[in-house]
Structure 1
């Protein structure tokens, strides 16, 4: 019959082995990572600007990671549906979120936000910045910004201002524009910038703020009216295009920034390997050429870190919170 001391020793050894397995499981996962496809969730419709960035990067990252990076579109609720999905996903290194400024604006926009952007995710890296452009339908009477300003003041709420949904950067840009020009235009929400831009091309709406990743080809082709860029200074892809600030809207600056997030407690080795593949992709000649053609701007290496993203997210949250609250815009 087994003695009490022997039984105790065996139980102690079993507890030790169980604890060791629990401790080493994430490490073992990371060492063999990745062994299957990785999902990169885009919180907006396919064909939109963020989707373009995601798919451009995913193709190159697939090669360096040795596993397919699958882009999955989960549009709705200003990106909060996708963010909530990723927050609840298994923290195994196989689900990531690419999101823009919406991660910083959601706390002010949503009364019942089901996650905290600062604490409920692993912050992986910033990605890329994209300037915004102010556009009008091709048959809009105005041909430059001074004429557009006069037209907006004359038409008032008859002007239809499209945006990609509550909290989208096109929504924020339109909000700042309305405040800057003092015109209470009628806003028309869409499920993503892709559908909003198609509405502009089809003449169903009058004006739209949208990213250069989507608008540059159309601006050069003349299929839309172009009134200026929303950056502090002129951009390389449209060097002759004036900024809205230099045309009278002092301090007007809205730039789309993107970040990569993972579920909380995703193994650090996994996120670091994903981030390394991202950094390599951002230097790939194909990606550089494609993003440069579309007007995207590459961020400094210091921002391509968890700390860089975390700090920037905090800064942007503090910037946009008062703007949104003063506008009285919110959703349940």
Structure 2
């Protein structure tokens, strides 16, 4: 499925976002309040989309990050050979990481009644795979990015050879972690096999690797493919893996597939728009990235229209899941966050 670029009327939220860009500054970390829950039934007069505007996504997200960071720290201990593990931990435990893939996985699992303890091993694996893909994307022979998440890229610190090895090691470690740490009394082995197959599909030659190849090769009308494969695949995989762990039906998994892919691309499109608005790219960098994003190909205004379409696609994909009541609210909230960036994710140092 290629991303549709049908022109839609831009919502005031998108335009407000463009006129009032979030200030990038650190804020004091406050004690986490208890997560608010909204109890509703499928017969409630309030729609999930309406409830999402009341849901405290920041608290939900930040609390999960704390748990996920602890489990990642335990999952990637320093052992011999030390330098490889230090390079792996440098990227996996990066302070600026929002942990979007694992948080989405947990939310999707809980949507269908799954226990988050069943989702944490896969959530950690998704972060390992995500970190590995970023390490390799940043290499001089790929996107050649010197920084990532506000700090020097892995290869800048550890060298190209060690960065390649760190990425190579993180991919299989993720699969091993799923198999060895998922409670068998919570998730049947048949579901775990499907989870592993889903991740392998997402990162493989028809998934993220294909997106990176076309990103390097370029070509006319390649932006849809690049954006879907490089950014949509991880969102899709995260949502679907959570659904598999929670016992979602095939029809529900298809909804999650469409939802996750749209959210993944939406997040990147809005990030590119914000970056263009802030005018942080120098002329040479702008030329290098020309053609790799909707902003580069179509300009800011058209990219905003694409974002509106993606936002609508993501929310429409959740139609039919209202029967799960307030458990669907986090997924709705992720869509609004991807579009509007109404807050920053603060982490404890």
Q: Do Structure 1 and Structure 2 share a fold, with TM-score over 0.5?
A: no
Q: TM-score when scaled to structure 1?
A: 0.25
Structure in which a larger fraction of residues adopt strand:
1
